[in-house]
Amino acid sequence: MTQIYITVGIIAIVAILVCYVFIRQTISERQREKARLQRVLDKRATDLLQMTSAFPPHFVPKELMIFIFRCIIDAYEQLTKLDNSNAQYVESLTLHTAQLENTIRTPERVHTEQLQSATQINELRQYLNLLNGFLQKSLQRQQISTKQYGHYRTLIKELIVRLAINNYMLSAKQALDTQKHKLALHYYDLAKKLLVKESPTDYQKNIEKINLAIAPLLQMEAEEEALDITEEPGDAASSEKEWDEFKEDDMWKKKNVYD
C-alpha cells in the first residue's frame, strides 16, 4: 500500500511540475506576444503622428485627416487595454481624441501654397505611400469598407499628382533663375499635360496660372525667333561675299600659274 502511495505521489508531483512548466510557458508566450503587440502599436502610432507633423496645414483633405486620427486613436485604445497603468497611453488617447473632434468641426480648406524644396516634396510623397499602406491594412482588418478604400485612394492619388505638378513648377522656377527660358517652358508644359491628363480639383485654375507664367516666356521666344529671321539675310549676304572673294583669289592664283 505504501508503494502505491509513493507511486501516486510521484505521479502527482510530476503532473504538478508539468502543469507548472506549461503555465510558465503560456505566461511567457503571452508576455512576449503582449510586448510584440505593444511595439507594433507604438510604431504605428509614431509613424502616423510623424505623418501629421510632416503634412503642411490643410495639405491633406479633411476626410483623410479624420481617417489618420482614427487610426492613431485605435492604436492608443489598444495600448491602453494592454497596459492601462501607462499614463502616457491614457494622455495620448485623450489628446488625439480631442484633435479628432477639432478636425471634424473645422471647415474644409484647400492648401494652395507652393512647396519650396524638392526634399520636402520627396518626404511628403513617402508619407503618402505610407498612408496608402495603412489604408490597405485597414481594409484587410475590415476597419474600412471597399468603397471607403477606393475613395481614400483617389484622394491620395490626387495629392501625389499635386506633388508632381509642384515639382515641375519648382523646376521651372529654378530654370528661370538661371535664365534657361526654354527649359522653364518645358517644365511648365509637363505640368500642364499632367493637369489635363489627371484632372485634379481646380486643375483649370492651375492651368490658367501656368498660362499666365509662360506668357512672357512665349513672347521672349517669339521675339528671339523674329530676330533670328531678320539676321539671316545679312548672314547669307556676308557668306556670299566671302565666297566671291575666295573665287577671285582663286582665279588670281590660276592666272599667276599660267603666267
Condensed to tens digits (0 to 9), the pLDDT of residues 192-251 reads 888 888 877 777 788 888 888 888 888 887 777 676 666 555 555 554 555 455 445 444
Q: What is the pLDDT of residue 128?
A: 94
Are 231 and 202 within 8 A, CB to CB?
A: no
Task: Pick 236 or 145 by higher pLDDT.
Answer: 145
DSSP 35-86: HHHHHHHHHHHHHHHHHHHHSPTT-S-HHHHHHHHHHHHHHHHHHHHH-TT-
Number of domains in the chain: 1
Is residue 124 in a domain?
A: yes
Is residue 34 in a domain?
A: no
Is residue 76 in a domain?
A: yes
Distance CA 124, CA 114 (A): 13
224: left (phi over 0), alpha (psi -120 to 50) or beta: alpha
Highest mean pLDDT among 10-14, 23-27, 173-177: 173-177
Distance CA 75, CA 45 (A): 6
Domain with 169 in it: 45-232
Is residue 82 in a domain?
A: yes
Is residue 133 in a domain?
A: yes
Is residue 247 in a domain?
A: no
Is residue 155 in a domain?
A: yes
Q: What is the pLDDT of residue 257?
A: 37
Distance CA 126, CA 160 (A): 10
Is residue 248 in a domain?
A: no
Q: What is the pLDDT of residues 80-94, one digit of tens each?
A: 988 888 899 999 999
